[in-house]
């Protein structure tokens, strides 16, 4: 019976306290505004991404360690009172996030700075340590040696769009955003963290609560605030990052599938061209057989006819501006009547260095050319069993100079060779990562004879630059690497590649 009576008394005490608090506006005896930073970490397992969130060269599984920081502003208020001889302490918290920033610069957090994401952040627990002082009128405040831990509970919707000052000045506005919390009634000897004596704690608490009602004599002063405990739920941000990384992986996978389809198209085209070439060979053999028959019957084509057919061959080059603002151009043209002549070929001489070019059956050709900054000379040379013809064009490139260049060509139109350059800072420039801090892949060629070219910027990142050539697919072929330093050819390296082999071609030291 005594136990039932005691439990009922506690229930009535809490009911009266809660009802009284809800029925009247709380008389706030203290407040604190401030800001704080919450650090969070995030782990993500992937095979497609590297630490820079670019396409990974190594498809092995890896764990990415990501982190971010959430900045919060807050308004914390509390009320102290005595009800039925017992201490009553209650606190409220309102907060708003002000910034989300990543530790990993590859995370584009400008897409995260929106109110919809901020509204999903929740402060699930907040406790504040408040050190108490008393200040008599006209005198200095003196330390009562008492520190309260006030629990503000779990806060609701952040007060986005409002200032902390507005919440302090407007009680109704503060109520829209502050946390819901039930008044606490601790034991006298457990009220303060540093006062265990019940009578002393009771006297200090009465002095503090009386101060709020007797401001003509003295009042309570509160400072040396310190957050005792805080828990922030940022699962919405984690989900947002997860979806963002999934989108990156999807884009990489789509690009890889596209490259695989393009590679298949190249192989199919090359197979069709080979089939057509075989058909032409058979047709040529048939024509030669007919010619022998004609000779046997005395019907031999005259020298005048052969000369007339040869004179029909004509090399034309499509117009190119003399001055351009690029370091890569396309040189194209056509050889008229080339189909009637066997063993025809086109070769470019770019600033004196040879570059093979694919010549189509109809006599057309088109190929990329890498330029120096300044003046460039390009010779287009056509040769066949019947006739040789050349054209020369001059092009001035107004692009900024570069420190070094690596240019790759090869001699088999059915091959796909790839240029890889590794810088001294660990960066890797290739078709999968075309731009780094100090290098760029100017042109990537998946068909024909090249070129591929990587440029190194001026006066940046001295050290050793390693050059590898990889046979990506198609037929085997002979590759040539030209190495330039300050627009001067310093090395020419050659090799034969096949079967997805990788060749370490050169190491260039830049001071």
The 10s digit of each residue's pLDDT in 438-476 is 899 998 887 778 899 999 988 767 899 999 999 888 888
Q: Which of 218, 29, 213 lies closest to 138 in space, CA to CA?
A: 218
* Digit-coded pLDDT (tens) for 335-373: 887 754 556 788 999 998 888 888 888 888 999 999 999
Delineate the domains of the chain, giving CATH numbers in brackets.
25-246 (no CATH), 312-393 (2.60.40.10), 400-511 (2.60.120)
Query: Cis ω on the peptide bond leading into residue 454 (within 30° of 0)?
Result: no
Question: 130: exposed, middle or buried (C-beta count within 10 Å: 0-12, 13-18, 19+)?
Answer: buried
What pLDDT score does 14 carry? Answer: 38
Q: What is residue 475's predicted lDDT score, i.e. its pLDDT?
A: 84
What is the distance between the alpha carbons of residues 240 and 50, in angstroms, rounded to a whole number?
A: 19
User: Who has greater pLDDT, 495 or 388?
Assistant: 495
With 0-12 CB in 10 A as exposed, 13-18 as middle and 19+ as buried, what is 102? middle
Residue 328 is predicted with a pLDDT of 92
According to the per-residue pLDDT averaged within each range, which of 171-175, 191-195, 269-273 is highest?
171-175
pLDDT given at position 339: 55
The pLDDT of residue 155 is: 85
* Residue 261 binned pLDDT confidence (cut-offs 50, 70, 90): confident
What is the mean pLDDT of the segment spanning 84-90? Answer: 88
Give the model confidence (pLDDT) of 292-321 as tens digits. 455 444 444 454 555 555 567 788 999 999
Percentage of the chain exceeding pLDDT 90:
29
**What pLDDT, on a 0 to 100 scale, did the predictor assign at position 1?**
38
pLDDT at 11 over 70: no
The candidate with the shortest Cα–Cα distance to 320, out of 394, 398, 400, is 394
Who contacts 360 (Cβ-Cβ below 8 Å, separation ≥6)? none
pLDDT tens digits along 139-169:
777 777 888 899 998 888 899 999 999 999 9
Mean pLDDT of the chain: 81
The answer, yes or no, to whether residue 7 has pLDDT greater than 50, is no
pLDDT band at 383, cuts 50/70/90?
confident
The sign of the CA dihedral 126, 131, 132, 138 is negative
Q: Mean of the pLDDT values across residues 225-245?
A: 88
Contact status, residue 131 vs residue 194, Cβ threshold 8 Å: no
Pairing state of beta strands 323-324 and 388-397?
Answer: parallel
pLDDT surpassing 80 at residue 17: no
Query: In this structure, what token pair is assigned to residue 163?
Result: 């200032």
Q: Global pTM? A: 0.47
Give the whole-angstrom CA distance, residue 150 versus residue 156. 18
Tell me which of 323 and 499 has the higher pLDDT. 323
Q: Averaged over 100-129, what is the pLDDT?
A: 80
What pLDDT shows up at residue 323?
92
- Residue 150's nearest CA partner among 11, 234, 32 is 32
Residue 47 to residue 59: CA distance in whole angstroms = 5
For 443, phi then psi, to 5°, come to -150, 135
Distance CA 172, CA 154 (A): 19
Top-confidence residue, 134 or 183: 183
Q: How many Å apart are CA 430 and CA 416, to the nearest integer?
A: 14
Residue 9 clears pLDDT 70, i.e. is over it: no
When comparing pLDDT for 420 and 56, which is higher? 420
Residue 264: predicted pLDDT? 79
């Amino acid at each position: 019976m005594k136990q039932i009576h005691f439990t009922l008394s506690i229930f009535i005490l809490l009911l009266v306290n809660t009802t009284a608090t809800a029925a009247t506006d709380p008389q706030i005896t203290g407040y604190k505004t401030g800001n704080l930073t919450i650090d969070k970490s995030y782990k993500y397992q992937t095979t497609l991404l590297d630490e820079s969130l670019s396409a990974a060269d190594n498809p092995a599984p890896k764990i990415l360690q990501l982190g971010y920081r959430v900045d919060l502003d807050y308004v914390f208020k509390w009320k102290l009172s005595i009800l039925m001889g017992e201490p009553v302490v209650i606190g409220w918290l309102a907060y708003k996030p002000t910034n989300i920033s990543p530790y990993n610069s590859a995370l584009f957090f400008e897409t995260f700075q929106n109110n919809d994401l901020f509204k999903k952040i929740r402060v699930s627990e907040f406790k504040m340590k408040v050190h108490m002082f008393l200040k008599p009128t006209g005198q200095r405040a003196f330390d009562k040696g008492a520190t309260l831990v006030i629990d503000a509970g779990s806060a609701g919707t952040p007060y986005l769009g409002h200032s902390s000052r507005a919440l302090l000045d407007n009680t109704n506005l503060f109520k829209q955003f502050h946390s819901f919390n039930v008044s606490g009634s601790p034991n006298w000897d457990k009220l303060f963290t540093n006062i265990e004596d019940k009578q002393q704690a009771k006297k200090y608490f009465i002095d503090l609560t009386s101060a709020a009602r007797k401001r003509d004599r003295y009042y309570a002063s509160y400072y040396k605030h310190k957050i005792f405990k805080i828990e922030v739920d940022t699962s919405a941000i984690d989900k947002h990052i997860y979806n963002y990384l999934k989108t990156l992986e999807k884009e990489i996978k789509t690009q890889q599938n596209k490259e695989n389809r393009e590679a298949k198209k190249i192989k199919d085209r090359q197979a069709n061209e080979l089939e057509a070439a075989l058909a032409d060979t058979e047709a040529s053999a048939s024509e030669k057989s007919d010619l022998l028959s004609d000779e046997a019957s005395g019907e031999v084509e005259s020298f005048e006819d052969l000369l007339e057919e040869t004179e029909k061959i004509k090399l034309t080059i499509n117009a190119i501006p003399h001055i351009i603002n690029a370091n890569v151009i396309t040189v194209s043209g056509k050889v008229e009547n080339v189909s009637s002549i066997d063993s025809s070929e086109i070769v470019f001489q770019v600033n004196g260095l040879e570059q093979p070019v694919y010549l189509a059956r109809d006599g057309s050709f088109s190929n990329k050319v890498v330029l120096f900054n300044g003046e460039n000379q390009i010779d287009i040379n056509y040769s066949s069993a019947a006739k040789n013809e050349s054209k020369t064009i001059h092009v001035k490139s107004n692009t900024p100079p570069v420190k070094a260049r690596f240019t790759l060509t090869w001699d088999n139109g059915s091959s796909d060779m790839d240029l890889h350059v590794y810088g001294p800072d660990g960066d890797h420039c290739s078709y999968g990562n075309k731009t780094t801090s100090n290098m760029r892949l100017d042109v990537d060629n998946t068909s024909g004879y090249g070129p591929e070219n990587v440029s190194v910027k001026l006066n940046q990142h001295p050290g050793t630059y390693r050059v590898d050539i990889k046979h990506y697919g198609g037929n085997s072929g002979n590759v040539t690497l030209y190495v330039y330093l300050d627009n001067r050819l310093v090395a020419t390296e050659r090799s034969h590649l096949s079967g997805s082999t990788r060749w370490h071609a050169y190491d260039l030291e830049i001071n």
